[in-house]
Amino acid sequence: MVAKTEEQRPVSFTGPAPHILIVEARFYEDITDELARGAVAVLEQIGASYERIAVPGALEIPAAVQIASTSARRFDGYVTLGCVIRGETSHYDTVCNESARGLQDLALRHGLAIGNGILTVETEAQAWARARVAEMDKGGGAARAALAMIELKRHFKQLTA
């Protein structure tokens, strides 16, 4: 019998179902669609409500999260999805590093619950292996990470209330 990966285990979540914003970079549309399929499946397992927005690429994801977090809309957490595949120039390094740094800065400075599902890979085959729900399901993994951080925030909020 093969052990289940974290992404294949049933999702557990305590407390009221959260409202999540899924931010999708559309540069590699088909790959991002598969990531979103995994994320949505996890969110629906726990009865979470969610909204989806699209941005052109991974570099725009942190700005979209920042804009949403300061809007009148209330989100308990954010799931960020996209794909960056290495090309022939150093642009890959910039996009990977800056999108990750931007999301980490938002999480640290503003206490946002963010699940980072931006794939950074060498080849399209690697991207598909990570995106497919039946394989690594990194979209589902990003949703799980966001949910875990929401639970952590709620836990510490209760301690201070």
Active-site pick, 19, 91, 110, 155: 91
Pairing of strands 77-85, 19-25: parallel
Q: Is 135 labelled as part of a ligand binding site? A: no
Q: Is 96 annotated as a binding residue?
A: no
H or E element: which one contains 21?
strand 19-25
Backbone φ, ψ for residue 140 (5° rounding): -65, -35
Question: Is 97 assigned to a binding site?
Answer: no
Largest CA distance in the chain: 53
> Taking a C-beta distance cutoff of 8 angstroms, is the pair 84, 99 a contact?
yes
19 is catalytic: no
- Report whether 130 belongs to an annotated binding site: yes
58 is in an annotated binding site: yes
Does 60 appear as a known binding residue?
yes
Burial of 37 (0-12, 13-18, 19+ CB in 10 A): middle
Kind plus residue range of the DSSP H or E element containing 4: none
- Residue 84, annotated ligand binder? yes
Does the annotation flag 70 for ligand binding? no
The Cα 49–Cα 4 span in angstroms is: 26
156 annotated to bind ligand? no
Torsion of CA 27, 28, 34, 38, to 10 degrees: -50
In the annotated binding site, the residues are 27, 58-60, 83-85, 88-89, 116, 130
In the annotated binding site for (2S)-2-hydroxy-3-oxobutyl phosphate, the residues are 88-89, 130
The residues assigned a catalytic role are: 91
In the annotated binding site for 5-amino-6-(D-ribitylamino)uracil, the residues are 27, 58-60, 83-85, 116
